[in-house]
């Protein structure tokens, strides 16, 4: 959802929802909508460019089961990711208070790395001990950085959407401005992959799924204050050939995580010149989101990805295979090569945050907007696949039965006592936007 992808899906959607443009109107920025067929304004056409910068950090800790069968969570890794994105968008009115838009986000640069957590080194890190990163070698032990991702860039998706102002305070000041929107973010560009044998071979940024987003916003200006409220829901749709695969058997989760979000905010009109279509507003907003349980590319998806050349020779795994992740056993006890995709079952978790910013309308044709804020994620497990499905209702999952055993389950990272957990997640982001309105 992520992500983590420009991996933080929350502020990816937040960015999409705040890019609603129109001519100067008596409404908050989030409820502006282009229009057409008005008597003195037959057609609205807006061009917008926005720059996003995101910096994220988190602790990746792990469950550890002691000799007395007590389980505790211990420090293991630190995660850091930076993303810069340029979003190009055009909006045009088609009917009275109805507008269409086309959105093209371009990842300029995205990279992440893993370092040791506090008090952790090569001798006591479970990540190192279990040989999870296949390209790991002895020279890495002298460095605090144990994984460095490739720098990714490119077109992320093609966004198409429609926005309708059911009520418009500019037309009827007894009513609020209320908009309904639908966006389809189409995953038509190169998807992300990671091969430990060729780390820079794929620098794509596609998510591997389409996103269908429904949203609604309401705002009502009272003299110098313009409060607003919004909500959205994102439904992911897996694309053919993506890393989100239905492998059958007892696989418990297949689809990417869904996302629901609510936001509340207010604009304070600091200065206004209605006759010149000029104004300056100060904006404050807060948001909360629920990431539903599902499959996802977590903070560890790249180092968890297996070597595609993992094979068995005479029943013995080649050196490209990690026996704990890339080799499975069938009902007869025979091993089979199954390179791990890096996609894991992620628990449901909540996130919350807020932004503060400034909106400046220079005149009838030019507007600027800037927001700066932070988002926190609740602690959650990022490797938590179920062992399978009890199809015969005997009270257990039979790991030797292909109808019950999950092909995505790996005991080395999914069993309680070995799961990885994200904690102390912090996400700083800056959003700067400029619009030309015709």
pLDDT at 245 over 50: yes
Give the confidence band of 29 by pLDDT, cuts at 50, 70, 90: confident
Give the confidence band of 27 by pLDDT, cuts at 50, 70, 90: low
Give the residue-averaged pLDDT of 335-363. Answer: 95
pLDDT at 315 over 50: yes
Give the residue-averaged pLDDT of 350-377. Answer: 96
DSSP 222: B
pLDDT at 204: 96
Q: d(Cα 244, Cα 256) in Å, to the nearest integer?
A: 7
User: Which residue in the block uniquely carries the two structure tokens 């640069």?
Assistant: 109
pLDDT at 143 over 70: no
Give the confidence band of 6 by pLDDT, cuts at 50, 70, 90: very low
CATH number for 9-305+340-437: choose from 2.40.128.130, 1.10.10.10, 3.40.50.20, 3.40.980.10. 2.40.128.130
Give the confidence band of 308 by pLDDT, cuts at 50, 70, 90: confident
If one compares 134 and 58, the residue with the highest pLDDT of the two is 58
Residue 362 phi, psi dihedral angles, 5° rounding: -75, -35
Which of 406, 383, 378 has the alpha carbon at shortest distance from 63? 383
Q: d(Cα 91, Cα 104) in Å, to the nearest integer?
A: 12
| Mean pLDDT of the chain, nearest integer | 88
pLDDT at 18: 43
Give the residue-averaged pLDDT of 344-348. Answer: 98
pLDDT at 122: 84
294-296 and 209-219 as β-strands: parallel, antiparallel, unpaired? Answer: unpaired
pLDDT at 20 over 90: no
Residue 16 phi, psi dihedral angles, 5° rounding: -65, -40
pLDDT at 96: 86
Q: What is the pLDDT of residues 41-78, one digit of tens each?
A: 677 899 999 999 999 999 999 998 865 567 899 999 99
pLDDT at 142: 56
Which of 173, 285, 160, 175 has the alpha carbon at shortest distance from 230? 285
User: Which residue in the block uniquely carries the two structure tokens 């009513």?
Assistant: 175
pLDDT at 19 over 50: no
The burial of 392, by beta-carbon neighbours within 10 Å (0-12 exposed, 13-18 middle, 19 or more buried), is given as exposed
Which of 154, 114, 145, 135 has the alpha carbon at shortest distance from 5? 154
Radius of gyration of the chain (CA): 24
Give the confidence band of 26 by pLDDT, cuts at 50, 70, 90: very low
pLDDT at 289: 97
pLDDT at 141: 53
Q: d(Cα 318, Cα 311) in Å, to the nearest integer?
A: 6
pLDDT at 326: 92
pLDDT at 134: 55
Q: What is the pLDDT of residues 230-242, one digit of tens each?
A: 999 999 999 988 9
Domain-wise residue ranges, the chain: 9-305+340-437
pLDDT at 2: 44
Q: d(Cα 18, Cα 109) in Å, to the nearest integer?
A: 22
Q: What is the pLDDT of residues 282-300, one digit of tens each?
A: 999 999 999 999 999 999 9
pLDDT at 10 over 80: no
Give the confidence band of 166 by pLDDT, cuts at 50, 70, 90: very high
pLDDT at 5 over 80: no
Contact of 244 with 209, CB cutoff 8 Å: yes
**CB contact set of 273 (below 8 Å; sequence gap of 6+):** 279
Q: d(Cα 1, Cα 222) in Å, to the nearest integer?
A: 36
Q: What is the pLDDT of residues 366-393, one digit of tens each?
A: 999 999 999 999 999 999 999 999 988 8
CA angle 148, 150, 142 (to 5 degrees): 20
Give the residue-averaged pLDDT of 36-40. Answer: 74
For 10-137, list the strands marked E by DSSP: 45-65, 71-95, 98-116
Distances (CA, A) of 161 to 36, 101, 109: 16, 5, 26
Length of the chain: 438
Residue 348 phi, psi dihedral angles, 5° rounding: -65, 145
Express as a percent the part of the chain with pLDDT over 70. Answer: 90
pLDDT at 330 over 80: no
**CB contact set of 50 (below 8 Å; sequence gap of 6+):** 15, 19, 86, 87, 89, 431, 432, 433, 434
If one compares 422 and 315, the residue with the highest pLDDT of the two is 422
Residue 18, helix vs strand vs coil: coil
If one compares 413 and 94, the residue with the highest pLDDT of the two is 413
pLDDT at 128: 86
Cβ–Cβ contacts within 10 Å for residue 220, how many?
20
Express as a percent the part of the chain with pLDDT over 90. Answer: 66
pLDDT at 217: 95
Give the confidence band of 349 by pLDDT, cuts at 50, 70, 90: very high
Of 62-76, 123-137, 207-221, 328-342, which has the strongest mean pLDDT?
A: 207-221
């Amino acid at each position: 959802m992520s992500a983590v992808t420009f991996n933080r899906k929350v502020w990816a959607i937040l960015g999409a929802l705040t890019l609603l443009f129109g001519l100067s109107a008596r409404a908050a920025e989030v409820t502006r909508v282009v229009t057409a067929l008005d008597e003195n304004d037959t057609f609205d056409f807006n061009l917008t460019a926005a720059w996003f910068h995101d910096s994220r950090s988190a602790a990746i800790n792990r469950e550890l089961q002691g000799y007395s069968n007590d389980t505790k969570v211990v420090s293991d890794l630190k995660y850091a990711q930076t993303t810069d994105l340029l979003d190009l968008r055009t909006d045009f009115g088609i009917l009275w208070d109805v507008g269409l838009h086309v959105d093209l986000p371009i990842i300029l640069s995205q990279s992440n790395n893993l370092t040791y957590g506090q008090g952790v080194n090569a001798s006591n890190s479970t990540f190192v001990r279990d040989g999870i990163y296949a390209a790991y070698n002895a020279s890495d032990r002298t460095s605090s950085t144990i994984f460095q991702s490739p720098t990714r860039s490119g077109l992320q998706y093609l966004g198409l959407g429609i926005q309708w102002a059911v009520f418009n305070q500019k037309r009827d000041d007894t009513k609020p401005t209320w908009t309904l929107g639908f966006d389809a973010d189409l995953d038509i560009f190169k998807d992300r992959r990671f091969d430990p044998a060729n780390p820079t071979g794929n620098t794509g940024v596609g998510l591997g799924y389409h996103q269908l987003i429904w949203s609604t916003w309401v705002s009502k200006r009272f003299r110098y204050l313009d409060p607003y409220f919004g909500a959205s829901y994102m439904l992911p749709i897996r694309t053919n050939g993506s890393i989100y695969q239905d492998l059958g058997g007892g696989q418990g989760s297949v689809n990417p995580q869904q996302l629901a979000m609510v936001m509340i905010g207010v604009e304070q009109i600091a200065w206004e010149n209605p006759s010149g279509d000029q104004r300056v507003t100060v904006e404050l907003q807060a948001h909360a989101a629920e990431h539903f349980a599902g499959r996802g590319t977590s903070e560890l998806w790249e180092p968890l990805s297996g070597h595609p050349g993992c094979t068995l020779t005479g029943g013995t795994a080649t050196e490209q295979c990690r026996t704990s992740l890339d080799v499975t056993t069938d009902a007869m006890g025979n091993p089979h090569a199954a390179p791990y995709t890096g996609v894991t079952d992620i628990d449901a978790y909540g996130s919350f945050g807020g932004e503060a910013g400034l909106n400046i309308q220079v005149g009838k044709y030019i507007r600027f907007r800037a927001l700066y804020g932070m988002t926190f994620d609740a602690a959650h497990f990022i490797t938590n696949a179920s062992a399978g499905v009890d199809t015969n209702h005997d009270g257990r999952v039979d790991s030797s039965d292909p109808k019950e055993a999950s092909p995505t389950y790996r005991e080395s990272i999914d069993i309680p006592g070995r799961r990885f957990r994200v904690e102390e997640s912090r996400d700083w982001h800056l959003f700067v936007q400029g619009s030309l309105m015709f």
